Structure 1
Amino acid sequence: MQPTESKGLSSSIFISRCRAVWIHIGEMSCSSYKVKRISGFDPPPARVFAWRVLELKEQGVREDDAMAVADMEYRTQKKAKKKAYKELKEIARSEGKKPPPNPYPSAIKEIQAEEKKYVMDRLFNPKVIEIANKMKEERDKLRQDRAADGL
């Protein structure tokens, strides 16, 4: 969110990657930070977490308690989604169909899928193999020179 200077108040929300939320709100109420859900748009979990913390703070809950409640709700929701997907897979298997793709894939697996092309290039692309062989020859030559100097 952008700091709001129009009311003469400064407010900032910083959301770190580890879902910790630091909120500094001057004298401004949290009512201007209403959660707006748009169909077809799935906000990142950190933003949903921050929205929930702000909602709870608006209701008078302390920040630490609000963060704990929001974290608990997030974990519960994530478990429910995983369980629902697991049941969908079981139903598909019992019907003899291919299971649906995982709607909640691991971030690590997504990154690995993106990098798979480059890993395969490194192993099978002739140009890359040629460059690697040249580098190995140069390295071996340097080692031989060092060994000859040491004698």
Structure 2
Amino acid sequence: MSFMKGDLLTKTRKLVKGLAKSEPLWLKPMQKAPPVVFPRSDGKVKPISLPEDVYVNKFYQKHPESKYEDPIKFNGFSPVPACIFAGRVLELKEQGVREEQALAVADMEYRGEKKSKRQAYKRLRQIAHIQGTKPPPNPYPSAIKEIQAEERPHVRDRFFNPHILEIAKKLKEERAADMRERFGGRGV
């Protein structure tokens, strides 16, 4: 039945009319109350856009180092700075502030908050130094440094892991054999 066009009702009607199938019991009630036909999509999925997306993009243009922060943190409750910035701009615009001024105010607030966080951590380090203890880890690290900290063990692992060293040795031998094959044993 896949070669026929239409839904189940149409296909069954055609089969009954062509005497290819006997009329099922459900056909007459279904003809009286046919199922709802949903409109088909044109195959193009429209992108979802939120009102704050414009301001999130402007924030990332101004502060490209923030691009590396995870926009959706499943294990955290605080939103990323870009979303806070965009929300603040929309809030200011609703209050009647012009867009340029709203962007400037939101940017000033972001920079002030970032500066206060840095100063608070600097003070924590000073207190730890005075007490003679190890300073706490930075609660506000840059996203790039967080990514590098996650990758660091894997980078170091390539120098000491015997399995990786074996693979590297095989690759060098294959490359040398390939070079000998290309140049006929001369120059290598």
- Per the shorter chain, which TM-score range? 0.7 to 0.9
Q: CA offsets, 1:53-93, max 9 Å, x none?
A: 01110111111221121111101110111011101111111
**SS of 2:141's equivalent?**
coil
Equivalent residues in 2 for 1:1-150, closer than 5 Å? 12-14=51-53, 15-16=56-57, 18-19=59-60, 41-148=77-184
Equivalenced residue count is 125
Larger radius of gyration: 2
| Percent identity between the two aligned chains | 58
CA contact 2:59–2:85 (8 Å) conserved in 1: no
Letter in 2 for 1:90: Q
**SS of 1:60's equivalent?**
coil
Aligned-residue CA RMSD in angstroms? 2.6
Letter in 2 for 1:65: Q
Q: In structure 2, what is the equivalent of residue 34 of structure 1? A: none
Q: Residues of 2 paired with 1:18 and 1:141: CA distance?
A: 52
Q: Residues of 1 paired with 2:153 and 2:173: CA distance?
A: 26
Q: Residues of 2 paired with 1:18 and 1:134: CA distance?
A: 47
**Cα drift, residue 117 of structure 1:** 2.1
Q: Cα–Cα, structure 1 residues 147 and 61, in superposed 2: closer, same or farther, change >3 Å?
A: same
Unaligned runs of 5+ in 2: 1-47, 63-75
Q: Residues of 2 paired with 1:113 and 1:79: CA distance?
A: 23
Q: Residues of 1 paired with 2:183 and 2:87: CA distance?
A: 64
**SS of 1:19's equivalent?**
helix
CA contact 1:17–1:46 (8 Å) conserved in 2: no
**Cα drift, residue 12 of structure 1:** 3.4
Q: Residues of 2 paired with 1:17 and 1:150: CA distance?
A: 58
Unaligned runs of 5+ in 1: 4-9, 22-39
**Cα drift, residue 121 of structure 1:** 2.2
Q: Residues of 2 paired with 1:43 and 1:11: CA distance?
A: 16
Q: Cα–Cα, structure 1 residues 18 and 11, in superposed 2: closer, same or farther, change >3 Å?
A: closer
Letter in 2 for 1:58: E
CA contact 2:93–2:99 (8 Å) conserved in 1: yes
Q: Residues of 1 paired with 2:77 and 2:138: CA distance?
A: 18
More strand by share: 1
CA contact 1:49–1:71 (8 Å) conserved in 2: yes
Q: Cα–Cα, structure 1 residues 89 and 113, in superposed 2: closer, same or farther, change >3 Å?
A: same
